[in-house]
Structure 1
Amino acid sequence: MIIYPAMDLIAGRVVRLRQGRFDEVTFYDPAPADALRSFAEDGADWAHVVDLDGAKAGAPAQHELLKTLAAASPLKLQVAGGVRSAEHVAALLDAGASRVVVGSLAVRNPAATTALLERFGPEHITLSLDVRVEGEPMVATHGWQEDSGLTLWDVAARYPSARHLLLTDIGRDGMLDGPNHALLAEAVERLTHLEIQASGGVTSLEDLAQLTTAGAILGRAMWEGRLQLAEALHARR
């Protein structure tokens, strides 16, 4: 399992949002470059970096910072936030990102997303789907405010050539209640062509031990000291 320590950025500062709400922001002290250096010292190989300004604007907004971070960090970066076009993907990869996350576009525009997978290769694209579990896992869009009317299975079936999927249960994100193990286990069983990254609710070593996904995102629990990154990495090597 790959452990991805997550770092969300607003105006160059490290933050966390509660339930994706921009009016519920917690700021953290480390400078982004220092945080990445700490991740590497703990033994991480990857980091998940989210440009929240870009996510809000619908286009990457902290490009120069991301470029600087990618150039200085020994980690491979998976970068998210406002990616809507091939130009956005190309710019982020050129800046040094190893993978670029595509979210809303994968729901709204299957043709454009398939073209990204073909042009840049499935190793460089991570699809990201945010779901509300109301019987079936329903995919949400537009900052979790709108229901797409599509299930997780509907959207994933569009992309047989994809390799990486970041799957977030909205109800668990930032809540420290543990992951949705049932959903994640079903996704691993049904979506066999995808390497799934569990996102939302990972709080303890016990949570990680139960996961059968290819990866896990560590966010709030890590930043608040409830789960030490070094311990998580050692437990899942």
Structure 2
Amino acid sequence: MIILPAIDIKDGNCVRLFKGDFSTVQKVAADYMETAVSFENAGAEWIHMVDLDGAKEGRPVNTKIYRDVAEKTSLKVEVGGGIRNIVTIEEYLAMGISRVIIGSAALKNPKLVEDAVKQFGSEKIAVGIDSVNGMVATEGWLEGSDVNYIDLAKKMIDIGVKYFIVTDISKDGTLSGVNISQLKEMAEATKGSCSIIASGGVHTIEDIKACKALGLYGTICGKSIYKGTLNLKEAIEIGKGA
């Protein structure tokens, strides 16, 4: 299982939110490159980055930051936030981004996801499924829907999506532990037909062990690293272990 340390960017700063609420924004690190390098030094192979400004505005905002990390570190960069068209996806991949996350557009414009998978391949595209009480939320988590997260996942699998980032918004940034029941439900419903990345709520190494026990492809860690409740190097070693 891969561990993806996370950097969320707002106004050019490394921040974290509490349950996706933009009014709770808190700066967690002084410098994005310094932070990315520290992840690299801990043994991380991937980094998960979110353009919070982009998610809110529906267009890329902090592009230079992601390009910098892709060019100046050995990390494979996974980016989401504000990706609404094929041109943006193409531009991100051309600058060395390894995987692009489609979030809101997966619900509102599934044809974009289908076209992206066909054009760039399933290894380059992930769908972010963010939910509250099992129902998908969009537009930087500012809008709700009446679509169940598993129903959306199955629809995406049918059009060729392999990677899913599954976030329980009520857990995100809370350090209250991952939603194991939701992740287990997703894993069982998709029967190994996709690669699931857990997101939201990671607190201690026990969360990493629990996600690994479910056979997940990856786990994203953000606030737990910044707050010191999770040792990234230890998490990576457990993820790699047999």
Aligned residue number for residue 14 of structure 2: 14
Matches of 2:38 and 2:143, distance apart in 1? 36
- 1:28 corresponds to: 28
Normalising by the residue count of structure 2, what TM-score does the alignment of the two structures yield? 0.93
Q: Name the counterpart of 1:56.
A: 56
Structure 1 residue 156: deviation in Å?
1.3
1:29-81, Cα deviation, whole Å (9 max, x unpaired): 33111111110110000000111121121101111222122110110000111
**Counterparts of 2:49 and 2:222, CA distance in 1:** 11
Q: CA deviation at 1:25?
A: 1.1
| Partner Cα distance (2:122, 2:149) in 1 | 19
Q: Partner residue of 2:174? A: 175
Alignment match of 1:220 (pick from 209, 218, 223): 223
Give deviations 1:73-92, integer Å, cap 9, x for gaps.
11000011100000010111
Matched residues in 1 for 2:143 and 2:30: separation?
A: 33
Please report the TM-score for the alignment, with normalisation by the length of structure 1. 0.95
- For residue 122 of structure 2, what is the amino acid of its counterpart? P
| Percent sequence identity over aligned pairs | 37
Cα distance in 2, alignment partners of residues 53 and 139 from structure 1: 20
What does 1:1-237 correspond to in 2, within 5 Å? 1-133=1-133, 137-159=134-156, 160=158, 161-191=160-190, 192-211=192-211, 212=214, 213-237=216-240
Displacement after TM superposition at 1:183 (Å): 0.8
Distance 2:93 2:117 in 1: 13
Moved over 3 A (4+): none
Count of paired positions: 234
Give, as a single letter, the amino acid of the residue that structure 1 aligns with 2:76. K
> How much has 1:143 moved relative to structure 2?
2.6
* Aligned mates of 1:175, 1:65 — CA distance in 2: 26
* Amino acid in structure 1 at the alignment position of 2:236: L
Give the Å deviation of 1:170.
1.0
Contact 1:8-1:14 within 8 A present in 2 as well: yes
Structure with a larger share of its residues in strand: 1
RMSD between superposed Cα atoms in Å: 1.1
Paired residue secondary structure (1:171): coil
Preserved contact between residue 107 and residue 148 of structure 1 (Cα < 8 Å): no
Rounded to whole Å, the distance in 1 between the matches of 2:194 and 2:118 is 16
